[in-house]
Amino acid sequence: MNTLKHIVRNFEEVFGALLLGSMFVLGLANVVTRYFFEFSLAFTEELEVAGLVWLTMLGTSAAFKKSHHLNLQYYEKKLSPRAATLVRMGGLVLAIVLFATLAGLSWFHIYDLIDLEITTEALELPEWIYALAIPAGSVLVIVRIIQVLIAEKAKLKGV
């Protein structure tokens, strides 16, 4: 049960590590087959690029969860604790607006990909499957930001 809790609490890190490991294996397999057998596994590049998009979104979510994202620390240090907390909360609200906009716009992109029936070059999969990383990642980021906002609100009551 503790392992399951750890995986849920650290979803981004666990899934990101598994994804990065898979990307390493795919890349290594491509290099080995290309140089030793003179046969390229071209589809691995397609999967690795899609994996990088997922890693970017997972890393962004993990950064917000741990408050390691870009913020206004220089200015926050010059403010009172209460004002600094309010500035942090304002920045987090703006981040929610940003990622909600990103998620919304990416849905329009996905609808276009579905409507135009665009497929990938190597695997000929529907391109929209890869594009799902953006709205799904944005939702995960928003969830983590809301968690941080709740913690900041609790801090505000204590200040």
Alpha carbons 159 and 147: distance in angstroms, whole number: 19
For the chain, the domains span 1-157
pLDDT for the residue numbered 94: 95
Give the pLDDT confidence of 70-96 residue by residue, as tens digits: 777 888 889 998 898 898 999 999 999
Q: Decide: 127 and 120 in contact? Cβ < 8 Å.
A: yes
- The answer, yes or no, to whether residue 138 has pLDDT greater than 90, is yes
**pTM of the predicted structure, to 2 decimals:** 0.88
pLDDT in tens, 21-75: 999 999 999 999 999 998 888 889 999 999 999 999 999 999 999 888 777 788 8
Helices (H) and strands (E) in the chain, counts: 7, 0
Percentage with pLDDT > 90 across the chain: 68
Name 141's Cβ contacts closer than 8 Å, sequence gap at least 6.
57, 60, 61, 64, 95, 99
Residue 120's pLDDT band, with cuts at 50, 70 and 90, is: very high
